[in-house]
A and B are shown apart, each in its own frame.
Chain A
Amino acid sequence: MGILERLNGGRWGVHPHDDHKRPAADTPLRVMPLPAKLCVPLLQHVGAPAKPVVAVGDSVLRGQLIAAAQGAVSAPVHAPSSGVVTAIGPVTAPHPSGLPFDAITITLDGEDRALEAAGVDDPLALEPAEVTRRIADAGIVGLGGATFPSAPKAQLGRKLEVQTLVINGGECEPYLSSDDSVMRHRADDVIDGVRILMHAVGARTALVGIEDNKPEAIAAMREAARAFAAIRICPVPARYPMGSDRQLVEVLTGKQVPAGARTASIGVLVNNVSTCAAIHRALRHGEALYRRIVTVNGGAVAAPGNVLAPVGVLVEDLLAFVGLKEAPARLVMGGPMMGLALPHAQVPTVKACGGVLALTAAEIARPAPSACIRCGSCVKACPMGLQPLEIAARVRAGDYDGAASLQLDDCLACGCCAYVCPSNLPLVQSFQHAKGTLWARAQQKKRNALTRELADARRERLERDARERAEAAAKRKAARAAQQASAAAPGGQEMPS
């Protein structure tokens, strides 16, 4: 950072002084041996959970569809290896709450028998719709963490005539190097995936943004992209959260994404490098997304590095493979800035899990929070230009609407504010709490609207029923009276009661 910039308070984001990416990033890629069982979650994406198409007791093969997509935004799930389905039901989710979610548990037979899979020799000759269909069938979702299913995203891009693809090789989180590893070892796959995606979307150019702290990846990708003029490799400054789509888009294209809108609204579609590699495998080799490269890192790990692991492997098994040198004080899925703390190690990984961290007490140590001194460090650090200190003050006072009026919705939960805070305030937790509370309120409002509708409908129905009954009764009475009258007229006698 130059002196002038420093006097001006610096730019957004933080520069973690030690990104802890090496030596893990430099170790050779390892393939994890098959564990005894896998728990493949049904909801690994944004949207509706997949619906199981196998039953307990069924034998499955590697690559076999075990749960189908449901609805427009969803993704199917495939078996990562061969074995027998032993349970379909709740397992602990990789989430701090420790709450369960549904998963298909497969006890592996160790033979790893694969389903016959057929790729296409020239995916670029296929109709874009066919490419998208194959991406959907392979269960590919955004692997950078957003987990939006890739096929509907590509469709959206085609519909909005997106011209530019931004390929996210930012991987700005400390400790993580799985995308780095993909770019170093599978640069050709990534570039091929980018070309297939460009074909599917109809985009003319692709900008691959890679943080400049990954020179090996940049070199490998440049080499791979040499033949394709439409694909440009763009080194970007290493600054967290460069890997956030909005920030990367601004750095690469100079345009900001309007608040509350998707990048497609400004003609840009962002995809992760690992997603592109997965698209390549899906189209060329017919391979569904059931395994990925996971960074296992952290002070408690004996042999940190990148591991090719099946989706749904238990964190416990993953850590057993790399070994622990001491008891971790915290397990995190994802990076240290945005990752989720795990309640215990018996949780499965998901498609978007780029890293598992076993952190020591020293690594997570933070002094006790003290009062906010309004120093404004968080304002400088916030990549969205928010005022975390003002929002946090309102949340603390229980003024959630006041927090929302300061655009709490735009918060990425990137953690820059909490990272730089000299008072060590738990800002992210405070914002997440406020967002959750506001969401719950909105839900309650919707619910109230629904019940009000139902109650009104019921009241109307009851009134109608009563009216109809009354009318019927009146009719009967009238009929009886008429009968009476007709009976009385000739005889002049009273009806026997």
Chain B
Amino acid sequence: MLVPVVILTLLGLMLGLMLGYAARVFAVEGNEVAAEIAAMMPGTNCGQCGLAGCGAAADALVAGAAPATVCPGGGAPLAQAIAAKLGLTLDLGGLADQGPKIAEVQEDICIGCARCLKGCPTDAIVGASKQIHGVLHQACTGCGACVTECPTGAIGLRPLPQTLQDWNWASPSFA
């Protein structure tokens, strides 16, 4: 009776020591996945996802608390990249019909209060107090922060106009 107990104890001890040593040599720090996903995100902390910024969204994604489509600003490409990274199944249904959008200032209503300038996370709105504001297409993520800021409802989101450069063939219907 004693022999098996001793043998098992010794075995356990030996293997435990080996693993303890390995754990020290091959230690990995932190959650690298969340950091990588945060790096893929737009990084504007626009809050459209309902979470506290891109870092929080990345943590939620890794924890499985948010779907891959959590980030509206990143659109379908980001959702696909995240799904591929985390091995999630992707339902693009919610995103597909929206498409990218940008903010537009209706110049006849804009009173030039410049509140939207402060609200924009990417400084995409140019203008000054008492002047009509304009939106830089390249910088706007379509997060909609300015829409809520505007006191006169002069800012709205509209779909990005399609151009010859970004037009694409539809996926053909294969047999």
Interface residues of A (CB under 8 A from B): 93, 95-97, 99, 101, 368-371, 392, 395-396, 401, 423, 425-426, 429-430, 432-433, 436-437, 439-441, 443-445, 447-448, 450-452, 454-459
A433 pairs with B175, CB closer than 8 A: no
| B141 lies within 8 A of chain A by Cβ | yes
CA distance A443 to B168 in the complex (A): 13
Q: What would be 20 A-B contacts, judged by CB atoms less than 8 Å apart?
A: A370-B175, A392-B174, A396-B171, A396-B174, A423-B175, A425-B174, A433-B169, A436-B168, A437-B168, A440-B168, A443-B166, A445-B77, A447-B138, A451-B44, A452-B42, A454-B123, A455-B44, A455-B122, A458-B122, A459-B45
Least distance between A439 CB and chain B CB atoms (Å): 8
Asked, given contacts A433-B168, A452-B43, whether A444 binds B162 with beta carbons under 8 Å apart, the answer is no
Contacts of B73 in A (CB 8 A): 448, 451
B44 pairs with A369, CB closer than 8 A: no
Instruction: Sort A-B residue pairs by CB-CB distance and give the 4 closest, nearest first.
Output: A436-B168, A452-B43, A426-B172, A454-B122
CA distance A97 to B41 in the complex (A): 31
Instruction: Write the chain A residue with the least CB distance to B92.
Output: A398
Interface residues of B (CB under 8 A from A): 40-45, 73-75, 77-78, 80, 84, 100, 121-124, 138-139, 141, 162-164, 166-175
CA distance A456 to B175 in the complex (A): 48
Contacts of A454 in B (CB 8 A): 44, 122-124, 139
Q: Which listed residue, A370, A395, A447, touches B171 by the CB 8 Å rule?
A: A395
A444 pairs with B78, CB closer than 8 A: yes
Of listed A392, A425, A439, A447, residue having the most chain B CB within 10 A: A447
Contacts of A401 in B (CB 8 A): 84
Q: Which listed residue, A392, A439, A440, A455, touches B42 by the CB 8 Å rule?
A: A455
Instruction: Write the chain A residue with the least CB distance to B40.
Output: A448
Contacts of A436 in B (CB 8 A): 167-169
B175 pairs with A451, CB closer than 8 A: no
Contacts of A395 in B (CB 8 A): 171
Least distance between B61 CB and chain A CB atoms (Å): 16
Least distance between B35 CB and chain A CB atoms (Å): 14
Contacts of A396 in B (CB 8 A): 171, 174
Least distance between A180 CB and chain B CB atoms (Å): 30
A99 pairs with B174, CB closer than 8 A: no
A456 pairs with B43, CB closer than 8 A: yes
Contacts of A371 in B (CB 8 A): 175
Least distance between A463 CB and chain B CB atoms (Å): 13
Asked, given contacts A95-B164, A444-B77, whether A450 binds B138 with beta carbons under 8 Å apart, the answer is yes
A458 pairs with B164, CB closer than 8 A: no
CA distance A401 to B77 in the complex (A): 12
Please name 11 further chain A to chain B contacts, defined as beta carbons within 8 Å, in addition to the given A439-B168, A444-B100, A452-B41, sorted by A numbering: A371-B175, A396-B171, A423-B175, A430-B171, A432-B169, A441-B80, A448-B42, A448-B78, A451-B44, A454-B122, A454-B124
Of listed A425, A429, A440, A454, residue having the most chain B CB within 10 A: A454
Contacts of B80 in A (CB 8 A): 441
B139 pairs with A450, CB closer than 8 A: yes
Least distance between A79 CB and chain B CB atoms (Å): 23
B139 pairs with A451, CB closer than 8 A: yes
Contacts of B168 in A (CB 8 A): 432-433, 436-437, 439-440
Instruction: Write the chain A residue with the least CB distance to B136.
Output: A454
Least distance between A394 CB and chain B CB atoms (Å): 12
A99 pairs with B44, CB closer than 8 A: no
CA distance A68 to B168 in the complex (A): 29
B123 pairs with A441, CB closer than 8 A: no
CA distance A447 to B141 in the complex (A): 8
Least distance between B57 CB and chain A CB atoms (Å): 13
B77 pairs with A441, CB closer than 8 A: yes
